[in-house]
Chains A and B, each alone.
Chain A
Amino acid sequence: MSDPLLRTDSVTKRFGKLTAVSDVSLSIPEGGISSIIGPNGAGKTTLFNLFTGKHAPTEGSIEFRGEEIGGLSPHEIVSRGIVRSYQITNFFSELSALENVRLATQADRTGFGPDDFLRHHASLSDAADEAEAVLDRVGLLDVADQTAANLAYGQRRHLEIGIALATDPDLLLMDEPTAGMGPEQTNATVSLIEDIAEDATVVLIEHDMDIVMNISERIAVMNKGELIARGTPAEISENEAVQRAYLGGE
């Protein structure tokens, strides 16, 4: 097996007395779609927060392309190519869809040089072109000028993904991208995810087992902060520990 893209080694996160993530070691190879599943409160979102720098791990290490990233600040992690999208829509609600995405495409073109203070933002035309291309990809080009807050639910969720995509990530972490969607919207989102996975590695947190089983190459199962199983969809569906976590006990 080649070197993994992302690897955690005994990563643990505690909030006071609560252990949200406990001794998780997993590796995600480059390319394709991996999923993390588990009941609510299993620590999936906390794991994402550790990968993206929202929290620093209490113990253990997180390596991306062989380089330690645990405890770096969010923007440093983004510049290395890891980006996440959110379960709840978390964008710039007063700005238009295009401006939302353009803030993201502008990110690696903006620094603290004289130009960044003096020229007009519209002169960053390649950032704008790129933003339009992203909107096209997530199917929002026709509502580019609408204020984000006024978009329909499904459109907002796609804008959410679009913002993440616009930073041109190598690893895209998606937190329940299909939550709350009807069947049609869900299908559109699933094909969007598959399209994204053509040129980036995707890690999904997802509750819909049909989607997970259909599109994931690998699945990791978490329960109560711990990693309880790893494997292909076929292996996971046969796994007894997984069935216990989902059906028995609680």
Chain B
Amino acid sequence: MFVEFSSVLRATMLGVQLGMTLALVAAGLTLIFGMLDVINFAHGSLYMMGAYLGVTVSAQFGSFWLALLIAPLAVGVIGAVIEVFGLRALYGRNPLYHILLTFGLAVMIQGLVVEIWGGQSLRIEAPASLAGTVQIGPVEYPVYWLFVLAVSTLLIAAVWLMIDRSDLGILMRASAHDTEMVDALGIDVSKVFTGVFVFGAVLAGVAGVLLGASRSVNPGMGFGVIIETFVIVVIGGLGSFKGAVYAALAVGLVTAYGALIAPSVTDIFLFTMMAVVLMIRPNGLFGATEAA
């Protein structure tokens, strides 16, 4: 099979863009796991809520920018409700219950979405200022996609810096490893937990709005993205932010190249990649290894 250079280039750009946006979703999932020890099955639903709220806000006020601001914040509020009224009751219990609880929530949110917005595919209207395409070498590339790439990359870089440098990041890493220590410092762990969960929800909400204007918005998208994100987070190593970013890029690229070669079976490439990584490194690329 002969694939033209320009399509490979285009797929590469597409893959990087998809990867960075998925990294926004995956970052929240992996941070929440690292801190709260919770596998958040409803994380894809938060992403979906971002997209649907984006549809409503942008239709109501005719502004994509307002949607990009308001929808993620609203998703953050939903995240706070889930953490405070749901997960809090389960801390200290077998983490399996977190999965069941969030799985139940995901089913519930999907039902709510169908109730409110109906089952058909919707779309967020991208702003006119980002319409059209630009010529990059041999590739004609939509301006909006470049915008998505830029926003996602900036956000990921900001989160990376925050985790690496700021006091908040150090605190987050500390309470992941030793909640007792943080307790002893006089910091309210439960506030930190809520904060991290909300932060992850907001990131997922941003991704929802961004992709909502380039992919279709439908009730199945929550469950669809959660599988992709699980693959990313598991490949990267649960709880590792760095791992999630690298793995997200890999998944984005594999998806884009896979679509070039054999569109109907891209998932097989993804799952095979995950299986191979886990076979070689059973805790993912950057997962904590067993202490000696």
**Direct contact between A and B in the complex (CB less than 8 angstroms)?**
yes
What distance in Å separates the Cβ of A13 from its nearest Cβ neighbour in chain B?
9
| Chain A, 1-36, CB within 8 A of any chain B CB | 15, 18, 20
A-B contact pairs, 6 of them (CB 8 A): A15-B292, A18-B292, A20-B292, A46-B292, A49-B292, A55-B292
**Complex Cα–Cα for A18 and B292 (A):** 11
Residue of A nearest to B290 (CB): A54
**Complex Cα–Cα for A49 and B292 (A):** 9
Residue of B nearest to A46 (CB): B292
- Residues of B at the A interface (CB closer than 8 Å) are 292
Chain B hits for A18, CB < 8 A = 292
Main secondary structure on B side of the interface with A: loop
| Chain A, 51-97, CB within 8 A of any chain B CB | 55
Chain B hits for A15, CB < 8 A = 292
Chain A hits for B292, CB < 8 A = 15, 18, 20, 46, 49, 55
Residue of B nearest to A49 (CB): B292
What distance in Å separates the Cβ of B287 from its nearest Cβ neighbour in chain A?
15
What distance in Å separates the Cβ of A183 from its nearest Cβ neighbour in chain B?
31
**Complex Cα–Cα for A11 and B1 (A):** 53
Query: Which 4 A-B pairs have CB atoms at the shortest separation, nearest pair first?
Result: A15-B292, A20-B292, A46-B292, A55-B292
**Complex Cα–Cα for A84 and B59 (A):** 68
| Chain A, 195-227, CB within 8 A of any chain B CB | none
Residue of A nearest to B289 (CB): A15
**Complex Cα–Cα for A26 and B285 (A):** 37
Chain B hits for A20, CB < 8 A = 292
Interface residues as binary, A150-176 with B (CB distance below 8 Å gives 1, 0 otherwise): 000000000000000000000000000
**Complex Cα–Cα for A20 and B292 (A):** 9
What distance in Å separates the Cβ of B126 from its nearest Cβ neighbour in chain A?
48
Residue of B nearest to A13 (CB): B292
Chain B hits for A49, CB < 8 A = 292
Chain B hits for A46, CB < 8 A = 292
What distance in Å separates the Cβ of B282 from its nearest Cβ neighbour in chain A?
15
Residue of A nearest to B291 (CB): A15
What distance in Å separates the Cβ of A168 from its nearest Cβ neighbour in chain B?
29
**Complex Cα–Cα for A15 and B291 (A):** 10
What distance in Å separates the Cβ of B93 from its nearest Cβ neighbour in chain A?
16
Chain B hits for A55, CB < 8 A = 292
**Complex Cα–Cα for A49 and B291 (A):** 12
What distance in Å separates the Cβ of A84 from its nearest Cβ neighbour in chain B?
15
**Complex Cα–Cα for A18 and B289 (A):** 14
**Complex Cα–Cα for A55 and B290 (A):** 11
**Complex Cα–Cα for A46 and B290 (A):** 13
What distance in Å separates the Cβ of A179 from its nearest Cβ neighbour in chain B?
19
What distance in Å separates the Cβ of A17 from its nearest Cβ neighbour in chain B?
13
Residue of B nearest to A15 (CB): B292
**Complex Cα–Cα for A46 and B292 (A):** 7
What distance in Å separates the Cβ of B4 from its nearest Cβ neighbour in chain A?
44
